């Protein structure tokens, strides 16, 4: 904890990102030495940490990450926070589906599967720079529909 506070240099976002990385390490079974190495390898400057997070994205997935960032950025430009389902639809949309005059009803199970898949998709492809949160979680804007939001 002392090392985290010392390296953070008063930047709360840095602490949040590093703590999340360490918690992921614990989740995946890292021992104490590996957790310490993970912390030592973390750049102390926020900009360098972002670059480090971007570099952790597999090169083969970089095009996917870029598309996700661009979609989210475009939505943010018009003050829209897309839900996980909306982001999934934006990523998987095809011209043919969009132009089909007949619409099919999607089951709740399929919606849940698509959302779960998109949450995993975000974790793997965005290096922790873009992630989903439930709107009803403490600290996030409340919304009556309770949908996950990116």
- CA gap 28, 22 in Å, rounded: 10
Q: What phi, psi does 107 have (nearest 5°)?
A: -75, 160
At 99 the pLDDT is 84
At 131 the pLDDT is 80
Check: CB of residue 106 under 8 Å from CB of residue 115: no
Q: What is the pLDDT of residues 36-65, one digit of tens each?
A: 888 888 888 888 888 888 888 899 999 999
At 80 the pLDDT is 86
- Residues 80-84: contacts with CB within 8 Å, 24+ apart? 81/149, 81/150, 82/149, 82/150, 83/147, 83/148, 83/149, 83/150, 84/115, 84/118, 84/119, 84/132, 84/147, 84/148, 84/149, 84/150
- CA gap 2, 5 in Å, rounded: 5
More confident residue, 117 or 13: 117
Query: With pLDDT > 70 as the criterion, what percentage of the chain qualifies?
Result: 89
Q: How far is CA 18 from CA 69, 91, 121, 150, in A?
A: 21, 29, 21, 20
Look at residues 123, 119, 124, 121 and name the one whose alpha carbon lies nearest to residue 148: 119
* Average pLDDT of every residue of the chain: 82
């Amino acid at each position: 904890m002392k090392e985290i506070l010392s390296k953070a240099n008063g930047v709360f976002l840095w602490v949040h990102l590093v703590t999340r990385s360490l918690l992921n390490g614990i989740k995946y079974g890292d021992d104490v030495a590996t957790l310490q190495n993970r912390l030592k390898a973390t750049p102390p400057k926020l900009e360098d940490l972002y670059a480090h997070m971007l570099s952790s994205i597999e090169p083969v997935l970089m095009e996917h990450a870029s598309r996700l960032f661009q979609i989210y950025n475009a939505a943010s430009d018009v003050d829209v926070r897309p839900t996980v389902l909306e982001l999934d639809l934006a990523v998987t949309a095809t011209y043919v589906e969009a132009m089909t005059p007949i619409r099919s009803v999607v089951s709740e199970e399929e919606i849940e599967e698509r959302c779960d898949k998109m949450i995993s998709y975000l974790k793997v492809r965005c290096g922790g720079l873009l992630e989903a949160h439930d709107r009803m979680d403490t600290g996030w804007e409340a919304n009556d529909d309770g949908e996950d939001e990116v």
